[in-house]
Amino acid sequence: MNLEHHTGSRANLQERVNAAIAAIPVFDIHTHLYDPAFGSLLLYGIDDLLTYHYLVAEVFRYADLTYEAFWKLSKTEQADIIWDQLFIKHSPISEACRGVLTTLNKLGFDVKQRDLSVIRKWYAEQETGALVDKCLELANVNRICMTNSPFDTEERPVWEKGFDRDERFISGLRIDPLLLDWTNTASLLSQDGYSVTEPLNEPTLTAIRQFLAAWGKRFRAKYLMVSLPPTFTYPSNKPTTTILDQAVIPHCQEHGRPLALMIGVKRAVNPDLQLAGDGMGRTDLQSLENLCANHPNAKFLCTVLAKENQHELCVLARKFPNLHIFGCWWFTNVPYAMEEITRLRLELIGLSVTPQHSDARVLDQLIYKWSHSREIISRVLAEKYDDLTRTGWHVPDDEINRDVTDLLGGAFERFCKC
Ligand code: FIX
Ligand code: ZN
């Protein structure tokens, strides 16, 4: 083969893939963002960007400050310390730091000025609705899945009162307390008027299903979700298994909702860091295999936190069509891991995957999370097409668009519907 010709067509292929990836809007299937109707629950702006828990964890690598002193400060003061330590006293090369700069750059700021006051002033003049539009446009995201919990005392009253939905914000029903802390959840459900007892008898399991049906309907939930520790075991003689088998999964099947399992988080490894204090661990994916095998008619979405679990997860997806893999979650959402994991997934399960979700907690983060992720997905996909080209295969633009549409939410939509 003429090497020069091939190098030229490789560059051309990369450009065609870049163009498709830039143009096709994303359905961001897992975030912690809220419909603007939730008011202050929807975070945005420079101080929220800087006090993102990823950066809080990083600032304690450098700052000579007690946890107590840090948590006593106002958000602006915390942001000032983070800016000073992570951007001024050291170069901001971590993925979370770089993300702030990508976001600011795409919003039009000259980041080399290093001037927080200019940025704060600009944000103070923004109107929320316009900023939502601007961030979605810059990120090219057209739908966002929220994390909605009936157990969250801040968001619950908004749902109970009712509001006009912004159709771009889709709901996901979060059920961690139900699966991981049944004792306390039983009393919460009782207070809500559901007739439950701590022993998981028939009437209690029926009441849990009524609870899920009521909140699923109120949220118009697309799927149910839970984050699980690395020690998650299924089946087991714990309430988690009974509730999964006899309430959650039957609910999911009845209402056509997948169950998203995010596996590998060790909560509060360092509680002093608050939200930033969660760690991770490897899990035994035998439990996921058991779930997929025991419930062939239920649909499972899964992402795992440990890099070491990614290969086995892909192999499981090859065995179980009722399993859809998504996202490079949290500590794997760094270019080094994401590139490797994305390549692994495309090589093992082709395009039947959703390579990324943003997990954004601050609206503006959509801009950097999707800019960085698009770059990597694009690189890996073009490399795979290039491998095909060398067999004599040709991938026309309409097929690139089809494939990219799948990767950016289409495959997920199809999985939810089937
Ligand atoms: O459980 C989750 O949904 C996690 O994504 C969060 O708890 C975590 O704090 C986070 O923001 C990760 O990106
Ligand atoms: Zn999350």
Nearest to 266 by CA among 231, 224, 301, 308: 231
* Residue 203 Cα to ligand 1 middle (Å): 33
Each residue's pLDDT tens digit, 68-124: 999 999 999 999 999 999 999 999 999 999 999 999 999 999 999 999 999 999 999
DSSP-derived pairing of the beta strands 265-266 and 279-280: antiparallel
| Element housing 279 (H / E) | strand 279-280
Which residue from 48, 149, 331, 359 has its CB within 8 A of the most atoms of ligand 1, so it is best to mutate? Answer: 359
358 ligand 1 Cβ < 6 A: no
Q: Is the pLDDT of residue 418 over 90?
A: no
CATH number of 3-39+141-417: 3.20.20.140
Nearest residue CA, atom 9 of ligand 1? 275
Instruction: Return all residues near 329 (Cβ < 8 A) that are at least 6 apart.
Output: 262, 264, 303, 304, 305, 357, 359
How many beta carbons lie within 10 A of that of residue 61, not counting itself?
10
Read off the pLDDT band of 262 (50, 70, 90): very high
Prior bond of 235 cis (ω within 30°): yes
Nearest residue CA, atom 12 of ligand 1? 330
- Give the span between the Cα atoms of 196 and 180, in whole angstroms: 16
Identify whether the C-beta of residue 125 lies closer than 8 Å to the C-beta of residue 87: no
330 ligand 1 Cβ < 6 A: yes
Q: Is the pLDDT of residue 4 over 60?
A: no
Phi, psi of 125 (to 5 degrees): -90, -5
Nearest residue CA, atom 8 of ligand 1? 330
359 ligand 1 Cβ < 6 A: yes
How many beta carbons lie within 10 A of that of residue 270, not counting itself?
13
pLDDT at 286: 99
Average pLDDT, whole number, for the chain? Answer: 97
Ligand 1 nearest atom to the CA of residue 227, by list position: 1
Each residue's pLDDT tens digit, 193-228: 999 999 999 999 999 999 999 999 999 999 999 999
194 ligand 1 Cβ < 6 A: no
Domain locations in the chain? 3-39+141-417
